[in-house]
Structure 1
Amino acid sequence: MKIEETIIKGCYLITPRSFTDNRGSLTKIYHELMFQEMGLDVQFREEYFSVSSKGVLRGLHFQIPPMQHAKCVTCVSGKIFDVVVDLRKNSPTFGKHFCTELDGKTPSLLYVPEGLAHGFVSLEDDSIFLNRSTTVYSPECDRGIHWDSCGIVWPDLDLIISHKDQEMPDFENFNSPF
């Protein structure tokens, strides 16, 4: 696996090796020892996937302490525009964001440390997003910031956004616990 730090400290793009032959391909997206060798000594506690139509925006989500988590995300089919926002008050990139495309045809992962909000928009119908996190979902600790309050230039699509995500507080009105 190849690891590259993004502009957000502790947030990494990871490119796994893929093996292709006449049958198709095989891509290993997690291997505990490889992650440890890259300095990412994490234990994932929950894993889930979502399937989204083109234009579906999910985010910007995170969990507050004591259930904050690191996560590792990827797109296994289709394509997504993936975004993180640094919510860590003492970070030099506090309030800054990083965007990348994750494409099921070109496997890559985004490692998101604790204290970052995360979201994405599906660029194709039936995009499958896979999320692995270090804590389990906690409704009491579930939070978010408004998707359109951080200066992110989202893809020019007719966005489909849940009521919950439309009602999230703006970044400017969010008092970060990180």
Structure 2
Amino acid sequence: MDIIKTKIPGCYEIHKIVRKDTRGRLVKTFSEKTFQEMALHRNFPEVYYSVSNKNVLRGLHFQIPSQHHVKLVACLQGSILDAVVDLRIESPTYGENILVELNPDKANMLYIPAGCAHGFYSLTENTIFLNKTSTGYSQKHDRGIHWDSCGIDWPTNKPIVSEKDKHLIDFASYNSPFRYQEAI
């Protein structure tokens, strides 16, 4: 696996190993050994997937301490623009975002550290998005910030969003509980 640093400390774009032959292809989505060598989190007790129509935007979501989590995300079908916003106070990239296209042809995924908000925009119909988390879902700890309050260059200003996501707090009004730790 190729693990590439993004501008957000602790956030990596990972290009997976792909084996192709006449039958199709096989993609290795996780290697505990590689993650251990890179000092990345390796235990993901909950795995989710969603199916989205074109122009659906989900996010920007995260969980607060004590149930904050690392995420490992990929697009298994279709194509998405995946967004990460650094919410860690004192981080050199606090408030900044990255936008990465994920799709099965690129065979890439994102490793997102705790303390970052995450969301994605579906570029195609029937997009299948995979989300592995280092902690289980906790409604009590579930939070989000409004999708258009962080300066993300989304492809539209009129995406399809859930009622919940329409009413999330703006980034400027959010009082982050996350602190940056240099040893990420």
Give the TM-score normalised by the residue count of structure 2.
0.94
How far apart, CA to CA, are the structure 2 residues paired with 1:3 and 1:94?
22
Question: Helix, strand or coil: the match of 1:139?
Answer: coil
How far apart, CA to CA, are the structure 2 residues paired with 1:86 and 1:164?
21
Q: Which residue of 2 aligns with 1:172?
A: 172
Aligned-pair identity in percent equals: 53
1:12-64 per-residue CA deviation (whole Å, 9 max, x = no partner) reads: 00001100001000001112112111221331110010000000000000000
Matched, 1:6 2:6: yes
Q: Tell me by how many angstroms 1:106 deviates.
A: 1.7
Aligned-residue Cα RMSD (Å) equals: 1.0
Q: Which residue of 1 aligns with 2:79?
A: 79
| Count of residues paired in the alignment | 178
- Residues 77 and 105 of structure 1 are in contact (CA less than 8 Å); yes or no, is this contact kept in structure 2? no
> Which stretches of structure 1, 4 residues or more, deviate above 2 A after TM superposition?
none
Q: Which residue of 1 aligns with 2:56?
A: 56
- Residues 85 and 95 of structure 2 are in contact (CA less than 8 Å); yes or no, is this contact kept in structure 1? yes
How far apart, CA to CA, are the structure 2 residues paired with 1:167 and 1:128?
25
Q: Which residue of 1 aligns with 2:181?
A: none
> Where in structure 2 are the equivalents of 1:110-121 lying within 5 Å?
110-121=110-121
> Where in structure 2 are the equivalents of 1:127-138 lying within 5 Å?
127-138=127-138
Q: Which residue of 1 aligns with 2:28?
A: 28
How far apart, CA to CA, are the structure 2 residues paired with 1:46 and 1:119?
18
- Counterpart amino acid of residue 126 in structure 1: N
Question: Helix, strand or coil: the match of 2:121?
Answer: strand
Question: Helix, strand or coil: the match of 1:140?
Answer: coil
How far apart, CA to CA, are the structure 1 residues paired with 2:129 and 2:135?
18
How far apart, CA to CA, are the structure 1 residues paired with 2:24 and 2:2?
22
